[in-house]
Amino acid sequence: MKDVYLKQFKEKERRFFNFFQPLAEEVTSCESPEVGFRSRAEFGVFIKQNSLNYFMIKDKKKETLDYLEICHPKINGLMDELKNTLRNKTNLLDKLFSCSFQVSKGGESVICLNYHKEIDQEWEKSATDIANILKTNLIGRSRKKKITIGKDFIQENYDLGDENLKINLYENCFSQPNPYICEKMLQWTRDAKSHKDDILELHCGIGTFTLLLSRLYKQVLATENSRPSIRGLEDNIKVAASANISHARLSGKETLEALNEKRIFRRLSNINIKDLKLNSVFLDPPRTGLDEYTKTNIKKFDTIFYISCGFESLQKDLQSIKTHRIKKASFFDQFPYTDHMESAILLERI
């Protein structure tokens, strides 16, 4: 497994270095553990002889599985325990079509069961027994209904060497799937910062980087377009007791339109954005990259942090940002055994 991993890692590293070495002052890379690195996973399920079976789609075909080496050992253990515990539990197996698992490095877990039927109090009573047996948080979802047994999140503790960062990871919100690589990305961000003025963060999600940025900068303005993620961010700000984070539910483009006084948003009415000294911007957009308005308007910032999970879209975006030089570029192997490449880029105005 190690040899297979290193071969694919070296190939992605080669692609990354070939592109960035002529452009960047510093180019680095970071390996992932070759097994047990993935902390969340979702599987389709089918029921056969009153027993739960897991599958994933590979080459457009269902592939049955009971174990995945890439998953955290806790996930593999829960997959087996859930299958054994649900055997012959007709009311919990009926119309079940998928399930997801999320775990922390410390062993917390949440399982979500998704149904093509309405779940009710009878379901909740049976599911509570299962949650107690497995010692896990458990969620049931059906159309327009959610039942939570325990919590709908786990707390991850990122070890940054000389400090820790705790954050609640919510079941229905995006979070970094590889916590070991996420720790390295957080360390890179901390070490790359160059001043202590205010910073704008676009696509902030539940606040994984937001909480760190609040320790590094005087004020943080963080925006995100997803309602569940914004609720998660608000909870994480409260848990961390961070007093220097302002936030709003806005897309990246909408945020920049507000800063440019092109549009007025009631969602920003409690934030005096004119008082913020925003010399830096931190971006973590979708895999498709940045829209044209954002690419044009981030050029006014002295410093740009660009986190990307789409290497091709990153290359394209950087070609249009000629106002800045690439000071640091790092490849983080967030997604081993796939072609996907996670990148972290620091750009400074020329």
Query: Which phi-psi region, left, alpha or beta, contains residue 75 (left: φ > 0; alpha: ψ -120 to 50)?
Result: alpha
State the Cα–Cα distance between residues 341 and 320, nearest whole angstrom. Answer: 20
> pTM for the full model?
0.94
Secondary structure of the chain in the HEC alphabet? CHHHHHHHHHHHHHHHHHHHCCCEEEEEEECCCCCCCECEEEEEEEEECCEEEEEEEECCEEEEECCCCCECHHHHHHHHHHHHHHCCCHHHHCCEEEEEEEECCCCCEEEEEEECCCCCHHHHHHHHHHHHHHCCEEEEEECCEEEEECCCEEEEEEECCCCEEEEEEECCCCCCCCHHHHHHHHHHHHHHCCCCCEEEEECCCCCHHHHHHHHHCCCEEEECCCHHHHHHHHHHHHHHCCCCEEEECCCHHHHHHHHCCCCCCHHHCCCCHHHCCEEEEEECCCCCCCCHHHHHHHHHCCEEEEEECCHHHHHHHHHCCCCEEEEEEEEECCCCCCCCCEEEEEEEEC
Label residue 59 by pLDDT band (50, 70, 90): confident
| Active-site hit among 183, 201, 254, 342 | 342
What's the pLDDT score for residue 202? 98
State the Cα–Cα distance between residues 290 and 279, nearest whole angstrom. Answer: 19
Q: Is 63 a catalytic residue?
A: no
State the average pLDDT over residues 155-170. 95
Inter-residue contact 138 to 108 (CB < 8 Å): no
What's the pLDDT score for residue 102? 98
What's the pLDDT score for residue 2? 86
State the Cα–Cα distance between residues 133 and 123, nearest whole angstrom. Answer: 16
Instruction: Give pLDDT tens digits for 98-120.
Output: 999 999 999 999 999 999 999 99
pLDDT above 70: percentage of residues in the chain: 100
Label residue 174 by pLDDT band (50, 70, 90): very high
| Active-site hit among 31, 204, 309, 348 | 309
Instruction: Give pLDDT tens digits for 66-89.
Output: 999 999 999 999 999 999 999 999
What's the pLDDT score for residue 195? 73
What's the pLDDT score for residue 42? 97
Q: Is 309 a catalytic residue?
A: yes
| Residue 38 structure tokens | 């993935």
State the average pLDDT over residues 273-292. 94
Burial grade of 111 (CB within 10 A; 0-12, 13-18, 19 or more): buried
What's the pLDDT score for residue 196? 75
Inter-residue contact 50 to 90 (CB < 8 Å): yes
Label residue 226 by pLDDT band (50, 70, 90): very high
Label residue 193 by pLDDT band (50, 70, 90): confident
| Residue 298 structure tokens | 């981030």
Instruction: Give pLDDT tens digits for 283-297.
Output: 999 999 999 999 999
List Cβ neighbours of 66 (8 Å cut-off, separation of 6 or more): 54, 79, 80, 83
Flag whether pLDDT at 340 surpasses 80: yes
Distances (CA, A) of 55 to 116, 122, 187: 17, 27, 36
What's the pLDDT score for residue 167? 97
What's the pLDDT score for residue 191? 93
